[in-house]
Structure 1
């Protein structure tokens, strides 16, 4: 059965990040950042895609799955995760075609949704993964530097 991974690059160097993707068997990275730019070396779109290609991992950017700026900006002001979640879920419900694209990619390849945040429970990529998994009927696993955590389960597996 296909699995859909998620992974945040916070705290990792590009080489370690790519090595972890390879060790998990990821074939395609789906970048779900609205703006695939990063102050962290190696993670801006063009350089990131090049590093992934060098490791035989395909790169796809699905811009519609990024969190809208007004939702991000509000979260920066109030830090209210419930408000952030409602805002992003409204956005997700209006972007079914992009969510279907993610599910379709995940059915055809071992995919990993990528964003910055290390904590998948505080990142929109988890909502994207759950939505795609619901459409595709596959499980979601959240990668860390060392483990894979099944969605909804804080226990790590190798």
Structure 2
């Protein structure tokens, strides 16, 4: 099952939606805890839902269950925490939430996980797909856009 990931910062709408088009994305799964910030520009939830539908014919869903808690994010971003501490905290949270039993692998086929980080390294969207792949026996073929 093909799944992609993408971040919206440090890019413009033409590039962002072009990458989704090239990848054949059918649904964007927003894994941000907060998806309504004015700083998100074209990736603000209601705007993104509209643009995806109109420009791509793609669906949009917000899945905060796949996002870190406010406390985990604050410790990493605002307090300039260590990536390894963030990683272990978020992996533990996903295990506690049992996200692998909350979703079916098939639901990710043709989908793209969205967060704000422009690069997939040191980004929770990568941790989500890696965690799920570990639980689902590598069934997701992941590509970072």
Q: What's the TM-score, normalizing by structure 2?
A: 0.88
Identify the range of structure 1 (43-52 vs 71-80) with the bigger mean alpha-carbon deviation. 71-80
- Structure with bigger helix share is 2
* Counterparts of residues 1-158 of structure 1 (less than 5 Å): 2-38=1-37, 39-54=39-54, 55-75=56-76, 76-97=78-99, 100-101=102-103, 103-106=105-108, 109-134=109-134, 135=136, 137-143=139-145
- Where do 5+ consecutive residues of structure 1 fail to align? 144-158
Change (3 A) 1:102 1:118: farther
Distance 1:138 1:65 in 2: 16
Name the structure 2 match of 1:149. none
Runs of 4+ in 1 over 3 A off after TM superposition: 97-100
C-alpha contact (below 8 Å) 2:31/2:66 kept by paired residues: yes
C-alpha contact (below 8 Å) 1:27/1:110 kept by paired residues: yes
Q: Which has the higher contact order (CA 8 A, sep 6+)?
A: 2
SS at match of 1:41: helix
Once the two structures are superposed, residues 92-133 of structure 1 have per-residue CA deviations (whole angstroms, 9 ceiling, x without a partner) of 112224664263311xx4011000101211110001111233
C-alpha contact (below 8 Å) 2:3/2:143 kept by paired residues: yes
Distance 1:14 1:99 in 2: 34
How many residues are aligned here? 140
Q: What's the TM-score, normalizing by structure 1?
A: 0.81
Change (3 A) 1:5 1:86: same
